[in-house]
């Protein structure tokens, strides 16, 4: 059902691109939207569903990006295995970082993850093997719209099924009330670290996809400003909604692209938007709600639910 | 058979800064019993629950459950051993549906792994169906089935308290700890709750320990009662013994008039 819908959207977009109705500028942007959806959805697993305020997503993206480009460029590893290794390494790092930092709460966790994201970037900057601050050159141009779309579907599929299982419910319970979650037999540390690890892993894959769009990547692409960008997507779209993450990624990427020539303006617009949002809709555009719960869709899905009984 | 000891606390003390919230607390509860824990505000009743459930670690003393020490276990480990609780200040998963609140509490008995969950195969399908059925059954026992798809925070107060009990039962405990289950309920609701607690105890073969300020509830359903004051047990015994104990009348019952 979900996959079928995805394939239809894919066929439509691919057709428009082939027919040159979507020009190369927007083609590039649509690909970036796909990557940003992966990042927003994976960050949402940590921030939205589990309620752990993380600001280090660009750091995990950087790990995935650098690991995968080293593998494809220096070791001629095929693209997909390289992406997956990048994702696993980012996930592993997420696990190692998550274990101590997730004991922290709220603002402290945000500051710690922000710092660690920056540390990752600075460490990369000081490794001559990957080009240091000047960046890593000669990356093969592997990333196509099709690969991005495929991995995006995979991410959404994974996270959607995860949050609708006992494992995802454990994460959501932590967000709702950590003390009650413990009292219900949920190992809260384990599930916080699990959400963080999975989120970091998908960020790593997104980083690999991002890196293989360009000839050169540099640590400057993975600053905390980038992490903020993903946070804005998640907060705008709605913490704890995949539909929201998709909408947020669309919206932010679209506006960024449209205002690419006036970058100062862009940040002002986002700042204003966020302020307005906090006043009028603090839960984000979608809140905790999925599009499948709205209006006519709701009827359709509820009927399906009832038919199951 | 019924005389099996389930929980025992020996010389348990809990010190917060300079304050002895619980001191030299000695307590036991046998399998199948329904025991009350009463005492004036700030006497240390909730602290005793927090000690039993691993939220606090006792400053000194031992606590054992079904013959094994539970001191130092994390709250979720204690829940998995078979102690479940409700909270004095309701702690529901308020933005989630009533049904999801109960489903979450099945967590520790679900066996399917991450892979089965993500691919939606194998034990995921059978266990999720079973959890849903079991949760709806619990909701109907507590007259909440018509609210199953509403958000927990939208429930009226009394219903929220009942949902907390239903959720605790979903962890399949041997011992159920209820912290002021009738707080904020009217006499009619309190009466229904009493019947429900008694019925649940028999139906689920539970042992129940409850904290309560409502004397009619405590005296009406508890087989034994402990009275705490300033962190110390000043009396324990049957409701008749408690009602006629001069210390209790002075310290607690008298204090209410
Ligand atoms: N985490 C804590 N830190 C410091 N002091 C605490 C803490 N928890 C409880 N106390 C104190 O310990 C004493 C006992 O509190 P407790 O909540 O156990 O009382 P109680 O018998 O449940 O009262 P009530 O009937 O009002 O619920 C009180 O003086 C309280 O202020
Ligand atoms: Mg209390």
Is the minimum CB–CB distance between B31 and chain A shorter than 8 Å? no
Count Cβ atoms below 10 Å from residue A183 Cβ, excluding itself.
27
The closest of A160, A98, A101, A151 to A290, measured between CA atoms, is: A160
Instruction: Please state, in angstroms and rounded to a whole number, the distance separating the CA atoms of residues A185 and A107.
Output: 26
Per-residue pLDDT averaged across B235-247, rounded? 90
**Beta strands B83-85 and B175-179, pairing class:** parallel
What pLDDT, on a 0 to 100 scale, did the predictor assign at position B217? 85
Question: Is the CATH code 3.40.50.300 the one for domain B5-82+173-251?
Answer: yes
Band of pLDDT at residue A285, cut at 50, 70 and 90? confident
User: For residue B202, what pLDDT band results from cuts at 50, 70 and 90?
Assistant: very high
Using an 8 Å Cβ cutoff, are A54 and A113 in contact? yes
Picking from B138, B246, B54, B222, the residue whose alpha carbon sits closest to that of residue A185 is B54
The answer to whether the Cβ–Cβ distance between B107 and A186 falls below 8 Å is yes
Phi-psi region of B164 (alpha: psi -120 to 50; beta: other; left: phi over 0): alpha
Model confidence over A204-256: pLDDT tens digits? 999 999 999 999 999 999 998 889 889 989 988 888 888 889 999 998 888 88
List, for residues B100-141, the tens digit of each pLDDT value.
Answer: 999 999 999 999 999 999 999 889 999 999 999 999 999 999
Q: What is the pLDDT of residues B130-183, one digit of tens each?
A: 999 999 999 999 999 999 999 999 999 999 999 999 999 999 999 999 999 998
Nearest to A252 by CA among A276, A228, A233, A274: A233
Helices A24-44, A145-163: inter-axial angle, 10-degree rounding: 20
**Higher per-residue confidence, A261 vs A299:** A261
The confidence band for B256, taking pLDDT boundaries of 50, 70 and 90, is very low
Tell me, in angstroms, the distance from the centre of ligand 2 to residue B88's CA.
Answer: 6
Strand spans (E) along B145-241: 175-179, 207-211, 224-229, 232-237
ipTM of the prediction: 0.92
Q: What average pLDDT does this structure show over A31-41?
A: 95
User: What's the pLDDT at A309?
Assistant: 41
Chain A: residue whose CA lies nearest to B110? A166
Tell me which residues have their CB closer than 6 angstroms to ligand 1. Answer: B 16, 19, 21, 39, 41-47, 88
Q: What's residue B1's pLDDT?
A: 47
- Average pLDDT of chain A is 87
- Model confidence at B223: pLDDT above 70: yes
What confidence score (pLDDT) does residue A154 get?
95
Terminal alpha carbon distance of chain B:
42
**A-B Cβ pairs (cutoff 8 Å, strict):** 96
The answer to whether A81 and A225 are in contact (CB under 8 A) is no
Domain ranges of chain B: 5-82+173-251
Mutation site, A2, A155, A169, interface B, largest B CB count within 10 A:
A169
What secondary structure letter does DSSP report for A74? I
Confidence of residue A90 (pLDDT cuts 50, 70, 90): very high
Would you call A166 and B95 a contact, using CB atoms and an 8 Å cutoff? no
Residue A48's nearest CA partner among A253, A258, A283 is: A283
B81-105 pLDDT, tens digit each: 999 999 999 999 999 999 999 999 9
Contacts of B53 in chain A (CB under 8 A): 183
Restricting to A residues 261-290, those with a Cβ less than 8 Å away from any Cβ of B are: 288
pLDDT higher than 50, residue A6? yes
Nearest chain A CA: its distance from B202 CA (Å)? 22
Looking at residue A308, what is its pLDDT?
Answer: 45
Q: What are the backbone angles phi and psi of residue B70, rounded to the nearest 5°? A: -115, 10
Q: What is the mean pLDDT of residues A27-42?
A: 93
Mean pLDDT of A263-270: 79
Residue nearest to ligand 1 atom 6, measured at CA: B16
Q: How many CB atoms lie within 10 A of CB B137?
A: 13
Q: Whose CA is nearest to atom 28 of ligand 1?
A: B42
Q: With H, G, I as helix, E, B as strand and everything else as coil, classify residue B72.
A: coil
């Amino acid at each position: 059902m979900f996959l079928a819908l995805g394939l239809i959207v894919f066929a439509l977009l691919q057709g428009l691109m082939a027919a040159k109705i979507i020009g190369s500028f927007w083609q590039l942007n649509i690909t970036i939207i796909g990557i940003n959806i992966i990042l927003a959805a994976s960050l949402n697993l940590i921030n939205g569903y589990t309620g752990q305020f993380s600001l280090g997503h660009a750091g995990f993206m950087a790990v995935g990006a650098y690991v995968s480009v080293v593998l494809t460029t220096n070791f001629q590893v095929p693209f997909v295995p390289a992406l997956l290794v990048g994702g696993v390494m980012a996930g592993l790092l997420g696990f190692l970082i998550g274990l101590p930092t997730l004991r922290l709460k709220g603002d402290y966790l945000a500051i710690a993850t922000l710092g660690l994201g920056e540390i990752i970037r600075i460490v990369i900057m000081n490794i001559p093997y990957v080009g240091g601050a000047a960046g890593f050159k000669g990356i093969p141009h592997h990333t196509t719209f099709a690969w991005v779309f495929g991995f995006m579907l995979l991410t959404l599929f994974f996270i959607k099924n995860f949050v609708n299982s006992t494992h995802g419910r454990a994460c959501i319970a932590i967000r709702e009330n950590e003390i009650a979650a413990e009292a219900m037999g949920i190992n809260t540390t384990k599930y916080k670290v699990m959400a963080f690890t999975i989120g970091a892993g998908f960020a790593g894959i997104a980083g690999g996809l991002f890196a293989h769009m360009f000839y050169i990547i540099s640590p400057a692409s993975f600053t905390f400003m980038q992490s903020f960008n993903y946070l804005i997507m998640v907060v705008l779209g709605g913490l704890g909604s995949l539909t929201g993450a998709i909408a947020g990624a669309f919206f932010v990427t679209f506006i960024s692209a449209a205002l690419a020539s006036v970058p100062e303006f862009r940040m002002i617009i986002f700042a204003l938007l966020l302020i307005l949002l906090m006043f009028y809709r603090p839960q984000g555009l979608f809140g905790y709600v999925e599009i499948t719960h709205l209006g006519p869709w709701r009827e359709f899905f509820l009927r399906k639910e009832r038919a199951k009984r | 058979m019924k005389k099996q000891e389930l929980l025992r606390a020996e010389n348990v003390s809990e010190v917060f800064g300079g304050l002895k919230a619980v001191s030299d607390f000695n307590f036991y509860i046998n399998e199948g019993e329904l025991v009350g824990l009463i005492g004036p505000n700030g006497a240390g009743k909730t602290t005793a629950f927090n000690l039993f459930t691993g939220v606090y670690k006792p400053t000194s003393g031992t606590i054992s459950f079904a013959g094994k020490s539970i001191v130092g276990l994390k709250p979720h480990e204690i829940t998995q051993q078979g102690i479940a609780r409700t909270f004095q200040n309701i702690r529901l998963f308020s933005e989630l549906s009533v049904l999801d609140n109960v489903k979450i509490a099945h967590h520790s008995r679900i066996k399917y792994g991450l892979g089965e969950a993500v691919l939606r195969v194998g034990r995921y399908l059978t266990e999720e169906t079973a959890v849903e059925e079991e949760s709806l059954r619990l909701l109907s026992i507590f007259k909440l089935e018509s609210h199953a798809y509403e958000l927990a925070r939208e429930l009226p107060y009394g219903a929220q308290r009942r949902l907390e009990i239903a959720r605790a039962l979903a962890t399949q405990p041997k011992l159920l700890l209820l912290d002021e289950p009738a707080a904020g309920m009217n006499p009619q609701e309190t009466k229904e709750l009493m019947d429900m607690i008694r019925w649940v105890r028999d139906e689920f073969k539970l042992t129940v320990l409850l904290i309560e300020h409502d004397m009619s509830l405590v005296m009406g359903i508890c087989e034994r009662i402990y009275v705490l004051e300033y962190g110390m047990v000043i009396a324990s015994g049957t409701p008749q013994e408690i009602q006629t104990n001069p210390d209790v009348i002075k310290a607690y019952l008298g204090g209410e008039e």
